[in-house]
Structure 1
Amino acid sequence: MSTAKTNHRDGTQIVADPALPTILISREFDAPPERVFRAYTDPDLVVQWLGPRRLTMWIDRYDARSGGSYRYVHRADDGTEYGFHGVFHEVRPSERIVQTFTFEGFPDGVSLETAVFEDLGGRTRVTTKSLMDSIEARDAMITGGMERGVREGHERLDELLRARPSGKADRRADTHADRRTETES
């Protein structure tokens, strides 16, 4: 799928450079960088927006700090589970997150992701660059559902930011029911 740029009505841009094993994702949000960054790093918020609507998410661990790690799982209605994990290499509040990302269904396909949070005066542009091992691995990620998950996740993040103007976490009981610790897995 070595393709160029795809846009979506919500403003999400996804670019796969035909010559490089990269994906560049850019999106603007109607909230300041501090609020958007918190939605990316607070597990109580992450579980509310990350990924496709049709999947339920639970977090095993999410320690969003330099040197921290994460693992979460998306589950389909039929019980199929999709696990993801990685390490946070650099977390600079309201500015930047550098992390690895691994889909457990393809454990040799580790990507390095850098997300930059740009202040647009009350709005935030998040630009994420993912570097994969090969163009084939990049194309497999794109055709495997990444585009849909990113777009729907961005839509859900918009909804969360609008519903929670103060940036406070939604502390619903069902959110916590989906969170498990490593020892419970």
Structure 2
Amino acid sequence: MKRREVISIFVENQANVLTRVASLFGRRGFNIDSLTVSTTNDPEISRITVVFNGNEQSLAQIITQTRKLEVVKDIFLLEKDNSLFRELLLVKVACDKTNRSLIKEIVDIYRGRIISLSKTCMIIELTGATEKLDGFLNMLNCYDIVEVCRTGVTGISRDADVTDVSSID
């Protein structure tokens, strides 16, 4: 049975690393649902967070194959029950004086922020779990959504004993 998997990969911070990791997924027939990359507290190391659907066998296969790449320093599964996941959403909504306050009420309920406002539209920022962002967009469906931009999922384990990037060789 396929399920949503989130893995975190620590890699050397150098050119073409993302391409190598992403192409490995593609060559193995995995579709990446979400991918984020950022530097860590060590400027030599970057973290790649990948979300994909797979079963236990496919998860084991992709972890084994990814670990073999020489640029990969560490890779681990971010367990749903022991990790925090967040995504950033920016959404531009057309508005006017008749519906501005109604949209603002929805933004407030979801603890979002209006980061830009004009007479014809507003841009809203919302951070949270994917399900929260999906619910927010669903509530806005009755308004004219002009543009949506999402970062993709990033995550971190709640455990203190997870990889310390400063100790990676």
Give the TM-score normalised by structure 1: 0.29
Higher strand share: 2
- Asked which structure has the greater CA Rg, the reply is 2
Give the TM-score normalised by structure 2: 0.31
